[in-house]
Amino acid sequence: MPARKRMRIASGPVLFNWAPEQWRDFHFRLADVEDVDIVHVGEVVCAKRHPFFEPYMAEVIERLFASGKQVVLSALALAMNRNERSLIDSITAMAGEASASEETADEGGEGEGALIIEANDLTALARLAGRRFVIGPFVNTYNALTVKELAHLGAVRICLPPELGRQALSALVPAMTDIGVEAEVFAFGRMPLALSARCYHARSHGLPKDGCRYVCGEDPDGLPLKTLDEEPFLAVNGIQTLSYACLNLLGEIPLLKDMGVSVLRLSPHATCDMAEVAAIFRAVADENMAVAEGLARLEALKLPFPFANGYFHGQPGAAWLKPDPA
Amino acid sequence: MTINAAASQQKHPGGKPALELVCPAGTPAALRDAVDAGAHAVYCGFRDETNARNFPGLNFSRAELEDGIAYAHARGAKVLVAINTFAQAGREDLWQRAVDDAVAAGADALILADLGVLAYAAEAHPAQRLHLSVQASASTPEAINFLIERYGIKRVVLPRVLTLPEIADLNREIACETEVFVFGGLCVMAEGRCLLSSYATGKSPNMNGVCSPPSHVAYREEADGALVSRLGDFTINRFAPGEKAGYPTLCKGRFEVAGRPFYVFEEPTSLNAASLLRELVNAGVTALKIEGRQRSRAYVRKVVSDFRRAVDALGTGGEPAAAATDALSDLSEGSRQTEGVYRKTWR
């Protein structure tokens, strides 16, 4: 068996409507975090937020490149109107340089100084077909037929949907290795569960979507939704619905590694020291830290939401099966 | 003139209908009812996880599909086979076999969602007519035209989140037919990209073909007489004594946000666009889809015949019968109906 490549750690795109300076500074800090190899930048949820981040985009990307990160520009997950479509157009238009300047998808230091685009819907996929790109978790990649097709279109890495469990991953990830597409798994953060044409943040505030006053900015980790029994259940983030619980596949890293997963995605949260989270995931992935110790350190971060890993174990996604200390 | 052609002519006086009525057939009996009630086309699926209404007691064996197609074709109606879930890793052959068998049975079109299954069908059966399922979540001209070029799809079932002007714009920019939902359940999330049900139950619409499955539903009566509906481990709604209770479909539940209990995602309404048929024709729509493969035969007969009358009235230049709209209001799931997003009430 060939020596396995080192698992890489990715920061997903910021899913929330943070203050633009907070957004910029978060990425600046990531540039200095050695444990993060890949950084996703770009507005995925709501095209109306993009103009606020846009002025800082070039600066952020340059800084990340300068520190040797692979930078992935993430495209919008749901498009219908012209504004949304033209945002996807402008993001995917940047892929031209990427395919020209990036020759090899090789170990560790892949793609230094090159920008690669992440398609998160079929609009972006249509724009990117024939070039070199990555697929985000908002595109339905459930099986080897789809992986083969996406690879044929130019996908070099695919972040799989969070609902895929161990059984599916055990079949799919090795197939991806055979096809020559890297497997990325969503490993930490509130799970993206649904997208809608309707904005639930606006609706929760009694505002129309077109006059939303950007109220999603008040909830940098999402707006908690409880059942009528007061049980926390989901989190609202504009047109997106997330899990209330925070996905945590730290304990599953040894299994993911065995399957051949290349990249672990950590989804940024405001109330969470992402550098510390990355350090813990990195240490466990490198087998420099036991799972039990990593878990204790994650718990010590006192996150404002519980952990979940149910999907991986074929359970409801909200379930938490505490990893076996052995 | 052959019998088939005669039947066909009888069904579509003056040729092509103003709007093709595509009706649900959860069972072989419902298929016959829908055809008899005037469906121009019916859609159905195999009895397994390859279709998005994988409920006990529903759907078709291979032999039943062949019989159903014979029955429909003899009466000038088409049969569309929905293979519209996402193939499970390691079990891809189940989806490929469903495609092969539907083609062999003589399906008029396959309704597909998974890019891998689309690629397989287009390559293995290049002459087969393919429709894009709503589950594929293609909502822009760029996406749809790409799928037309790559897989030769002839029709796209549009997401239930587009407004009438958006549908009209889309039809000007794409090179295939469009089909829109006009009656029945209303998905408020982008179809095919919703994990809410699996988050609560472990069963996935995309992989298992079930949303908010009955196997995970429970009701509990509280001391004060209130009825609590639950899905998996989560309370989806609480109905005061005397309040009309509904099925706990997750996105139609009542939840609490910022201390206020309300229908956060969508009220328990169902879609009825019967009053918009003329506008849908003007927007360039080819076909109307009625949701409800899980519904009763009586429901199918009633809805199909009412909509057929409305569509025929359109074809002869008349107004779609207002009577259809009124009669149909008794049949919806909750007590309320909506024209959905078509009227742009959400924006």
Looking at chain A, which residue has its C-alpha nearest residue B216? A316
pLDDT (mean) for B226-243: 96
> Does the beta-carbon distance from A315 to B202 stay under 8 Å?
yes
State the CB neighbour count (10 A cutoff) for residue B91.
16
Contacts of B204 in chain A (CB under 8 A): 163
Q: Residue A226's pLDDT is what? A: 98
pLDDT digits (tens, 9 = 90+) for B187-207: 889 999 999 999 999 999 999
Q: Give how far A246 is from chain B: nearest CA, Å.
A: 12
Does residue B275 sit at the A interface (CB-CB below 8 Å)?
A: no
Confidence band for B12, pLDDT divided at 50, 70 and 90: very low
3-state SS assignment for residue B320: coil
Q: Residue A101's pLDDT is what? A: 40
Q: Residue B345's pLDDT is what? A: 58
> Does the beta-carbon distance from A228 to B238 stay under 8 Å?
yes
Q: Give how far B8 is from chain A: nearest CA, Å.
A: 37
> Does the beta-carbon distance from B90 to A168 stay under 8 Å?
yes
pLDDT (mean) for B212-218: 95
> Does the beta-carbon distance from A233 to B193 stay under 8 Å?
no
Q: Residue B342's pLDDT is what? A: 77
Map tokens 């709501």 to a residue.
A46
Mutation site, B193, B262, B341, interface A, largest A CB count within 10 A: B193
Does residue B257 sit at the A interface (CB-CB below 8 Å)?
A: yes
Q: Residue B336's pLDDT is what? A: 72
CA end-to-end distance (rounded Å), chain A? 26
Q: Residue B346's pLDDT is what? A: 53
- Which residue in A81, A167, A194 is closest to B194 by CB distance? A194
Q: Which domains does chain B have, with CATH numbers?
A: 3-188+269-343 (3.20.20.70), 196-262 (no CATH)
Contacts of A243 in chain B (CB under 8 A): 199
pLDDT tens string for chain A (326 positions)?
455 689 999 999 999 999 999 999 999 999 999 999 999 999 999 999 999 999 999 999 999 999 999 999 999 999 988 999 999 999 999 885 544 344 444 433 444 457 899 999 999 999 999 999 999 999 999 999 999 999 999 999 999 999 999 999 999 999 999 999 999 999 999 999 999 999 999 999 999 999 999 999 999 999 999 999 999 999 999 999 999 999 999 999 999 999 999 999 999 999 999 999 999 999 999 999 999 999 999 999 999 999 999 999 999 999 999 887 65
Contacts of A147 in chain B (CB under 8 A): 116
Q: Residue B332's pLDDT is what? A: 55
Window from A32-36, A227-231, B123-127, B160-164 with minimum mean pLDDT: B160-164
Tell me if A62 sits within 8 A of A43, measured CB to CB: no
Q: How far apart are CA B137 and CA A251, in angstroms?
A: 33
Average pLDDT, chain B: 90
pLDDT digits (tens, 9 = 90+) for B42-75: 999 999 999 988 888 899 999 999 999 999 999 9
Structure tokens at A210: 């077109």
> Does the beta-carbon distance from A316 to B201 stay under 8 Å?
yes
- Which residue in B140, B207, B228 is closest to A142 by CB distance? B207
Q: What ipTM does this complex have?
A: 0.94
Task: Output the CA torsion B204→B210→B216→B222 (10° steps).
Answer: 110
Contacts of A119 in chain B (CB under 8 A): none
pLDDT digits (tens, 9 = 90+) for B290-343: 998 889 999 999 999 999 999 998 877 766 655 456 556 666 545 477 776 677
Q: What is the DSSP string of B155-170?
A: EEEPPTT--HHHHHHH
> Does the beta-carbon distance from B195 to A144 stay under 8 Å?
no
3-state SS assignment for residue B296: coil
- Which residue in B189, B207, B236 is closest to A194 by CB distance? B189
Tell me if B328 sits within 8 A of B308, measured CB to CB: no
Does residue B217 sit at the A interface (CB-CB below 8 Å)?
A: no
Q: Residue B57's pLDDT is what? A: 87
How far from B180 is each of B13, B120, B210, B333, CA to CA, in Å? 23, 25, 21, 19
Tell me whether residue A46 is exposed, middle or buried, using C-beta atoms within 10 angstroms of its C-beta: 0 to 12, 13 to 18, 19 or more.
buried
Tell me if B236 sits within 8 A of B223, measured CB to CB: no
pLDDT (mean) for B85-112: 98
Give the residue, B272 or B320, on which the prediction is more confident: B272
Q: Which domains does chain A have, with CATH numbers?
A: 8-192+246-304 (3.20.20.70)
Looking at chain B, which residue has its C-alpha nearest residue A143? B89
Q: How far apart are CA B213 and CA B206, in angstroms?
A: 13
> Does the beta-carbon distance from B202 to A310 stay under 8 Å?
yes
Contacts of A204 in chain B (CB under 8 A): 257-258, 260, 264
Starting at the edge strand found earlier in the chain, the sheet holding B227-231 runs B217-221, B227-231, B234-239
Q: Give how far B45 is from chain A: nearest CA, Å.
A: 20
> Does the beta-carbon distance from A146 to B204 stay under 8 Å?
no
pLDDT (mean) for B136-163: 95
Q: At what angle do helices B297-315 and B28-36 cross, to 10 degrees?
A: 30
Does residue B341 sit at the A interface (CB-CB below 8 Å)?
A: yes
Looking at chain A, which residue has its C-alpha nearest residue B200? A316
pLDDT (mean) for B243-247: 91
| Consecutive H or E run containing B198 | helix B196-201
Looking at chain A, which residue has its C-alpha nearest residue B122? A149
Looking at chain B, which residue has its C-alpha nearest residue A172? B89
Does residue B198 sit at the A interface (CB-CB below 8 Å)?
A: yes
Contacts of A183 in chain B (CB under 8 A): none
